[in-house]
Amino acid sequence: MAQSTNNTKLDITTLEGWLWEAACKIRGEIDAPKYKDYILPLIFLKRLSDVFDDEAKKMEGKYGNRELVEKILAEDHQLVRFYLPPESRWDAIARTSTGLGELITDAMRSIARENPKLQGSIDIVDFNATAAGQRIITDDSLKTLIGVMGKHRLGLADVEPDIIGRAYEYLLRKFAEGSGQSAGEFYTPREVAILMAQILNPKPGEEVYDPCCGSGGLLIKCAMNFRERYHNDPEVAPLQFSGQENQHTTFAMAKMNTFIHDMEAQIALGNTMEHPAFLKSEGALRQFDIVTANPMWNQDFEQKVYETDAFNRFAYGYPPSSSADWGWIQHMFASLKKNGRMAVVLDTGAVSRGSGNTGKNRERDIRKYFAEHDLVEAVIHLPENLFYNTTAPGIIIVINRKKPHKGECLLVNASKLFQKGRPKNFIPDESIAQVAGIFRDWNAVDGISTIVSVADVAKNDFNLSPSRYVAQNGKDETLPLEDAVVLLREAEEERQEADKQLNKVLAGLGLE
């Protein structure tokens, strides 16, 4: 099938139309949430093939003909970003009609063998797999899908580097939302990731870490922000990236995504809270200049995860089993260098739950420690209906071990800075720039932001919700249902703990 040959980069509208057409070709054979598991590796293969072809054609100008170039590349794979054996390239696959599932699977495994850095990313899907004796996706459907995927070139001059991330975002939005997928499938909306990168403002030579990196979007936006400011200047020390992801297919996407962006990235597979992958030689947590993350909100972890932790991550209190939000924050804080800074996306309740309650509350007490030790630099309240699989608004918490504005915290209520979209709202570019500017210039803007002291926060029982301090339309926040459920679970957990302690006392008195 003919490929697009115009000189304009593939725009988002064309990309989405292309992906929709591709998804329709496998509709009915596999569940909609799994479309991305088949389409994204093919996009990656197409990208690798087209970039390889671009680099080979450039070498033809030096060596005179393609045959000689092929011989040179077969002997020295280091002359190109990634070496693709002839039988694994897109053109060879597109010419094949029979045994296509086996051919694609073998091609991807062959590429991984030739390029060890790609192992565990491109080679994890079996396109020839069966279930109950039947092919999951037939060769006929694969042939049609390959035909659609071949419509556009994905070379260096044809698409933006963020092709995998944008494709993942579209496929998740169209086919995973509302399908019962867990909140851990979150893809951080592009504009939220851009805002976080602008706030973190990575500097030359810094190390950036995401402990629950998903498809790598937050790391990539930091890389793109850095390149926009330093323009790949060879005199400027590059950033180093590390990420860990628990879901195998999402881990593979993160590896694909960072490879496409030419990033120096180490992506590890595993559960960060139970088995953090990035450690120093002596077994302590490795530390980074920047941590950026969007963990699953209100995640459930058993108390033993905190109680038996070998890395002293939860020194400021154990969060309730009903919400690991402040467990994640403490892991990230423990992963910061002494001058490090972090930005994390969580649900709004993370900065308000427990405040105003009588007696002890675990989340409030951990939050109190961070506020009293002047570690919270800013909290940004985001608009509702931005995130996939939830309509709830989120917040960005910025924590800085070396705050430039001592004793102050910037609270930004950006809940109204959005435009309606279908099916999700979005933050327009001018609003991203406005919020980033407020943070950079440390400004109080009427109806949007305010600067509070630690004493102000203490008066409000360590409630850090921006809508508490920056009301809009004269309205204060009300407790969302999700937060009420978390509080109810926490109260039940504390009741059970109290019952256990009481039973011990009664047993000691012989009254049990």
At residue 140 the predicted structure's pLDDT band, cuts being 50, 70 and 90, is very high
Domain ranges, residue 135: 12-176
Is the pTM higher than 0.95? The answer reads: no
- Please tell me the total count of domains within the chain: 2
Residue 7 lies in a domain: no
At residue 357 the predicted structure's pLDDT band, cuts being 50, 70 and 90, is confident
- Summarize pLDDT for 50-61 with one digit per residue, the tens: 999 999 999 999
- CATH number of the domain encompassing residue 171: 1.20.1260.30
Whether 210 and 286 share a structural domain? yes
Whether 395 and 322 share a structural domain? yes
Residue 333 lies in a domain: yes
Nearest Cα neighbor of 188 from 209, 219, 159, 158 is 219
241: DSSP letter: E
Whether 339 and 210 share a structural domain? yes
- Summarize pLDDT for 466-503 with one digit per residue, the tens: 999 997 654 444 555 555 555 566 666 666 666 777 77
Residue 159 lies in a domain: yes
pLDDT of residue 260: 84
For residue 462, CA distances in Å to 349, 351, 353, 364 come to 12, 8, 10, 7
CA angle at 53 for the pair 50 and 55, rounded to the nearest 5°: 115
* 69's tokens: 């170039």
pLDDT of residue 249: 82
Residue 404 lies in a domain: yes
Residue 164 lies in a domain: yes
Whether 96 and 243 share a structural domain? no
Whether 136 and 267 share a structural domain? no
Task: Give the separation between CA 331 and CA 29, rounded to whole angstroms.
Answer: 41
Residue 250 lies in a domain: yes
- Summarize pLDDT for 289-335 with one digit per residue, the tens: 999 999 999 898 999 999 999 999 999 999 998 899 999 999 999 99
Residue 2 lies in a domain: no
At residue 174 the predicted structure's pLDDT band, cuts being 50, 70 and 90, is confident
Whether 158 and 127 share a structural domain? yes
Strands 394-400 and 408-413: unpaired
Most confidently predicted of 133-137, 178-182, 193-197, 424-428? 193-197
Whether 333 and 414 share a structural domain? yes
Task: Give the separation between CA 458 and CA 355, rounded to whole angstroms.
Answer: 10
- CATH number of the domain encompassing residue 366: 3.40.50.150
Is pLDDT above 70 for 101?
yes
Whether 403 and 454 share a structural domain? yes
Whether 224 and 246 share a structural domain? yes
Whether 417 and 302 share a structural domain? yes
At residue 267 the predicted structure's pLDDT band, cuts being 50, 70 and 90, is very high
Whether 137 and 241 share a structural domain? no
At residue 176 the predicted structure's pLDDT band, cuts being 50, 70 and 90, is low
Residue 110 lies in a domain: yes
395 touches 345 (CB < 8 A): yes
At residue 256 the predicted structure's pLDDT band, cuts being 50, 70 and 90, is confident
Whether 225 and 368 share a structural domain? yes
